[in-house]
Amino acid sequence: MKKHLIGIIYGFLLTAFTVYLLLDTFVIVRIYDRIPNEDTEYDTTSDTQFENTETYAPNTTDSAIESEIATTAAELTEPIITENSYLDNNISVTLTDYRKYNTTIHVADIKITSPEYLKTALAKDSYGKNVTEKTSKIADRNNAIIAVNGDFYGSQEKGFVLRNGVLYRSSASKNQEDLVIYKDGYFGIVTETEASAEQLLDDGAVHILSFGPALVIDGEITVDEDDEVKRSMTSNPRTAIGIIEKGHYILLTSDGRTDENEGLSLIELAKFMQSLGAKIAYNLDGGGSSTMYFCGEIVNNPTTNGSYKERSVSDIVYIGY
């Protein structure tokens, strides 16, 4: 009887510990830091190249984008907003839907006069574990014009987390390939074990997104069929970000996991981003997380477990003031 009682107690404790681990991993919210209220200082003139990074730095000046937007905007006093476009004196967004690979692909073509308008935001304005909100809610609270889900940093224990110039996590994940967005508006690709988060911050990084992989570097596709097998064995809804030139960016989501939309493989996503002119393109969190928000509305069809439903995520990438 005593042996049975010990076994029962042991089994109960083991079960309780397992349940706690599952709750701690997926449910229990732990807030480690609140977002500071300080504005990030931006240097819009530097064309510095940084160590341990592969960067794209075209010979394009801020004045070229400013001139293009200003010519179109004609010194607007109020933004012009349509179903698929936004235009003011600093920001231009044009939405286009494509049909390729048996999938609807939603693309936002973005031009901004300063890199300060390319931002990130955290769920509930907090850095922590299991802290999530819907992309649309985070975007709405931050007055985003256009936004997509980010890297869902909260699903990982390691990986650099740098947002709006604030370093929240510097523990490196082996072979993790990150997108670095610098304060001058250029993009870089780094491997975490080859460049510390602190050094990247010192070198001018404002945001580091840790998901991947890199899809395009210097205009060349950097994934292949073998990468696809290792990273994702099926087509899925996708989210990606890319740079065409300084001040000119792409945000993309694709539908998927339904009879109407197959979704994209990584190689298909890379080819499509390259076809849009991206010199650097990076894969963000996909699947049920893939969401694009524009001026108060969801653009794509977020799909979770076969139904159209927006998933809560850790963070977003957005354009706004």
63-67, 230-234, 280-284, 298-302: segment of lowest average pLDDT: 230-234
What is the pLDDT averaged over residues 211-216? 97
Peptide bond preceding 79: is omega within 30 degrees of 0, i.e. cis? no
128-137, 169-178, 179-188, 227-236: segment of lowest average pLDDT: 227-236
Give the pLDDT score at 10. 59
What is the pLDDT averaged over residues 245-260? 95
pLDDT grade, residue 283 (50/70/90)? Answer: very high
Question: Which residues make Cβ contacts (< 8 Å) with residue 182, sequence separation at least 6?
Answer: 50, 55, 115, 188, 203, 204, 205, 206
Give the pLDDT score at 13. 57
How many residues are recorded in the chain? 321
Extents of the domains making up the chain: 2-320
Q: State phi, psi for 84 to the nearest 5 degrees.
A: -130, 25
What is the pLDDT averaged over residues 263-278? 97
Burial 204-231 (b: 16+ CB within 10 A, else e): bbbbbbbbbbbbbbeeebbbeeebbeee
45 contacts 198 by C-beta, under 8 angstroms: no
Portion of the chain with pLDDT greater than 90, in percent: 69
What is the pLDDT averaged over residues 7-36? 55
What is the pLDDT averaged over residues 174-186? 96
CA distance 319 to 25: 31
62 contacts 114 by C-beta, under 8 angstroms: yes
Give the pLDDT score at 33. 65
CA distance 98 to 3: 67
Average pLDDT along the chain = 85
pLDDT at 18 over 70: no
Give the pLDDT score at 60. 52
- Interval 285-319: pLDDT, tens: 999 999 999 999 999 999 877 788 899 999 999 99
CA distance 36 to 9: 47
pLDDT grade, residue 23 (50/70/90)? Answer: very low
